Amino acid sequence: MTNTRPPYGADVPGLPVTRPDSCPFDPDETYTRLRADAPVSPVRCPAGMDAWLVSRYEDIRGVLTDPRLSSRGAGSMHMLPSYDMRDPLPGSMIQLDGAEHARLRRLLIGEFTVRRVEVLRPRIQRIADECIDAMLTGSSADLVRDFALPIPSLVIFDMLGVPYGDHEAFQRDSEVVMGFDADEATRDAASGRLEGYFAELIGQRIAEPRDDLLSRLIARGNATVRPLTVGELATLGVLLLVAGHETTASMIALSTLVLLDDPERKATFLTAPELAGNAVDELLRYLSVIQFGLLRYATEDVTIGGTAIRAGEWLVAAIPSGNRDGSVFPAPDTVDLGRQARTHLSFGFGAHQCIGQQLARIELQVALTTLLRRIPGLRLRSGPAMPPPSEFKLNDIVFGLRSMPVVW
């Protein structure tokens, strides 16, 4: 039976964005009710754009694999009316479908295979150890600034051939682009600076190729029927740099907080290193740092979860809700480090599934095991209490911590 489409109106509820005071790791409690009673329901996004909120795991997978539900124009994630169906930037892989998306993905996929990223493990290990060496010269640190951010940032900067000395300016603009607080003009200006920076860097690599991902991407693009333009390369560079550090840095800090919050959980992680892979995927499921979901646009009439969706309507695939669906993950609000959670949705699903997921897994495994092994007395400076709400990124695309003062 197909549900009839309810009319949008003034009483459409807003996107569930409030985390419970009892546990900042949990998504809005509204999702529990929606999964049971209204798995596909109208929602009003922060700036007034109406959409269908999809909250069950299987329906979310359906949304992310249905070719009638497009990524085109949906990559902004800010859900602002002025972004509706804006033409994607050249090279914006997350906003393209079909052949255009496949063209770009084929040029990159070889850089992120399991075998290719496993070669990076020793380098990631050295970076983690160097960060901890620097921390141990004192008796306290900010885990975000001194550990969680540098590891994935140094790795992706090295891969791309971007000078790490430029990371502070890049980080400032990245935070603007990934947040909801700035207005459209400010966000566009930050995006413009990032793209301009990469356009200049790409010009240098065209003139003098090096052994880095950007140079290889230029060479591969030139070998195709339609070579990549500087604009496409610049957009891809920004996407890789932002995606290559922001989510992983947030996961490192939040995962450490989850492990420190429960001594038994921390002990399990340390004494069973063979569980590191499972543990990382369970933490990815539990934390679901893409906290507002993924947007899709219906190019024709479809039915999702028994609800009729008309061509031209938007959908929000609520990743945090799908990852807490008890029909797929028993006791979903519990952290079970031995759980086989690799089917989680934190890397998306389908054709647009995160291309760097294997790299992220290795970075998380190395960072967490090294940190807890080398600093067994690590604890929050504030004691057992959680950081205050002001330290959590509750209004950014990526859920995370602004800072995390620790001592040992």
Query: For the segment 252-267, what is each residue's pLDDT rounded down to a tens digit?
Result: 999 999 999 999 999 9
pLDDT single digits (tens) 178-220: 777 778 788 889 888 988 999 999 999 999 999 999 999 999 9
Mean pLDDT of 389-404: 92
Q: What is the pLDDT of residue 85?
A: 52
Instruction: Please give the share of the chain, as a percent, with pLDDT higher than 70.
Output: 94
Q: What average pLDDT does the structure give for the chain?
A: 90
Mean pLDDT of 1-16: 65
Calculate ∠ Cα 58-293-65, nearest 5°. 45
pLDDT band, residue 1 (cuts 50/70/90) = very low
Q: What is the pLDDT of residue 73?
A: 63
Mean pLDDT of 315-330: 97
CA 39 to chain centre: 23
pLDDT single digits (tens) 11-48: 889 889 899 988 999 999 999 999 999 999 999 887 67
Q: What is the pLDDT of residue 74?
A: 62
Q: How far, in Å, CA of 324 to CA of 318, rounded? A: 10
Query: Residue 327 CB: number of other CB atoms within 10 A?
Result: 10
pLDDT single digits (tens) 341-365: 999 999 999 999 999 999 999 999 9
pLDDT single digits (tens) 156-189: 999 999 888 888 888 888 888 777 777 878 888 9
Q: The pTM is what?
A: 0.93
Q: What is the pLDDT of residue 42?
A: 95
**Cβ-count burial of 394 within 10 angstroms (0-12 exposed, 13-18 middle, 19+ buried)?**
middle
Tell me if residue 122 falls in helix, strand or coil. Answer: helix
Q: How far, in Å, CA of 61 to CA of 111, rounded? A: 26
Q: What is the pLDDT of residue 373?
A: 95
Mean pLDDT of 137-162: 95
Q: What is the pLDDT of residue 4?
A: 45
Q: What is the pLDDT of residue 157?
A: 92
Question: CA of 77: how far to CAs of 45, 104, 177, 347, in Å?
Answer: 10, 21, 10, 15
Among candidate residues 209, 356, 368, the one with its CA nearest the CA of residue 283: 368
Among candidate residues 96, 60, 91, 54, the one with its CA nearest the CA of residue 75: 96
Phi, psi values for residue 25, rounded to 5°: -80, -20
CATH class of 30-407: mainly alpha
pLDDT single digits (tens) 54-83: 999 999 999 999 999 998 866 554 444 444
Question: CA of 107: how far to CAs of 111, 223, 279, 341, 357, in Å?
Answer: 9, 10, 31, 29, 17
Q: What is the pLDDT of residue 283?
A: 98
pLDDT single digits (tens) 291-315: 989 999 899 999 999 999 999 999 9
Q: How far, in Å, CA of 304 to CA of 309, rounded? A: 7
